[in-house]
């Protein structure tokens, strides 16, 4: 059985959006559970194929219902003998998720460790991933205002992990396919299999040194890749890549494009420096003055986040403040122009940057890097 932190009661201190998530207040109103196999089988109707909602590097994901009616996602790991990394990721995810709770993080309900079975039970978030929405797989377009809201949700979640959880947490795999959306398009950060506890060292300092680099191609902090020193600024780098992805709808690596455009963040920076930042904007977004100004501000923040020197990158808390200012500027300019956010066309989108099968592929392809270094 995995040792998880004891739950404590008491009234949490007010921290604005982080209220109830202070370092000394762990889940005052919620207890995580150790599930039995019988409970898991009942919740998923014996792992019915009809309830399977996803497949990833960790294993399969099923929709389930607990006895009290709570709808959950049940993540069933691949058998350990088939994947030596499963146990490590499973234990990391359970230990860390048992410590954290925030409105923009997927909620942890419990786990099962029995024989070869490794199962994590988390909140069911019904509206797919951010990547799927950027690929327009769900028939609902994300306007720029919604994308800014999503960026702010993610920034608050990662700020909480770095600063307000009981122990600093480095997610290590911030990416669009790990961000789930609710019906109201609020974002929730998921998948803590690669997450690590930090040491509480000063901002930008190495908080965990590992001999194994993990993450996803296109989002990986190059300094972490080179030195194997994992810090909170590694998450900041990934977040900067995500901001470019939100603005452009392109994937971080576009293998089918011209070589100068394959690394999306680098391509966007070249456009920004060259004075053609508007070319970065998702072509399905309306090019209003408000959108172009918000885009410039968003790209400026993204490039600070993806700076080559980790100490020069902003803290996630500063990213939150910057994003609030960007959203305010965008809304104020729209109001002044009396413009309702819209898209250039309501017709179906052409093939996305991920190709005609992007909607199917996005839920399966992880491009995960697990590179052993000396």
CA 134 to CA 139: how far, in whole Å? 10
Close Cβ partners of 138 (under 8 Å, ≥ 6 residues apart): 127, 128, 132
CB count within 10 Å of CB 23 equals: 13
Q: Are the C-beta atoms of 202 and 354 separated by less than 8 Å?
A: no
Q: Which residues are catalytic?
A: 173
Which residues are annotated as part of the binding site? Answer: 75
- Number of Cβ within 10 Å of residue 123's Cβ equals 17
- Pairing relation of β-strands 33-34 and 108-114? parallel
Q: Are 102 and 157 in contact (CB under 8 A)?
A: yes
Enumerate the H helices of 25-127 as residue ranges: 37-43, 86-97
Known binding positions for ATP: 75
Residues 302/244, Cβ–Cβ less than 8 Å:
yes
Least Cα distance to 358 among 133, 87, 167 occurs for: 133
Counted residue by residue, the chain has a size of 374
Distance CA 107, CA 72 (A): 9
Rg of the chain taking only CA atoms, in angstroms: 20
């Amino acid at each position: 059985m995995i040792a998880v932190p004891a739950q404590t009661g008491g009234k949490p201190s007010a921290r604005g959006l982080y209220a109830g998530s202070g370092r000394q207040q762990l889940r005052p109103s919620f207890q995580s559970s150790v599930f039995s196999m019988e409970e898991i089988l009942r919740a998923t109707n014996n792992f019915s194929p009809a309830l399977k909602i996803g497949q990833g590097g960790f294993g399969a994901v099923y929709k389930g219902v607990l006895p009290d009616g709570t709808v959950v996602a049940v993540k069933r790991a691949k058998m350990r003998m088939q994947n030596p990394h499963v146990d490590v990721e499973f234990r990391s995810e359970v230990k860390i998720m048992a410590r954290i709770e925030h409105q923009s993080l997927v909620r942890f309900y419990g786990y099962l460790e029995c024989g070869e079975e490794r199962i994590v039970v988390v909140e069911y978030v019904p509206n797919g991933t951010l990547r799927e929405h950027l690929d327009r797989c769900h028939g609902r377009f994300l306007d720029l205002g919604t994308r800014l809201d999503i960026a702010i949700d993610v920034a608050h979640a990662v700020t909480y992990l770095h600063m307000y959880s009981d122990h600093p947490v480095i997610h290590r795999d911030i990416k669009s396919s790990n961000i789930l959306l609710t019906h109201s398009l609020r974002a929730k950060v998921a998948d803590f299999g690669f997450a690590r506890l930090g040491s509480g060292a000063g901002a930008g300092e190495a908080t965990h040194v590992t001999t194994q680099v993990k993450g996803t191609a296109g989002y990986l902090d190059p300094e972490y890749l080179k030195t194997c020193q994992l810090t909170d600024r590694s998450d900041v780098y990934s977040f900067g890549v995500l901001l470019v992805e939100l603005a452009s709808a392109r994937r971080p690596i576009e293998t089918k494009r011209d070589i100068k455009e394959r690394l999306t963040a680098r391509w966007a920076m070249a456009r920004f420096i060259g004075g053609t930042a508007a070319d970065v904007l998702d072509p399905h977004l309306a090019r209003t003055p408000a959108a172009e100004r918000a885009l410039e501000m968003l790209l400026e923040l993204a490039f600070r986040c993806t700076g080559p020197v980790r100490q020069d990158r902003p803290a996630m808390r500063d990213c939150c403040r910057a994003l609030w200012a960007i959203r305010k500027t965008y809304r104020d300019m729209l109001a002044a122009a009396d413009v309702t956010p819209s898209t250039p066309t309501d017709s179906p989108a052409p093939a996305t940057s991920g190709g005609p099968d992007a909607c199917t592929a996005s839920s399966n392809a992880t491009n995960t890097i697990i590179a052993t270094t000396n």
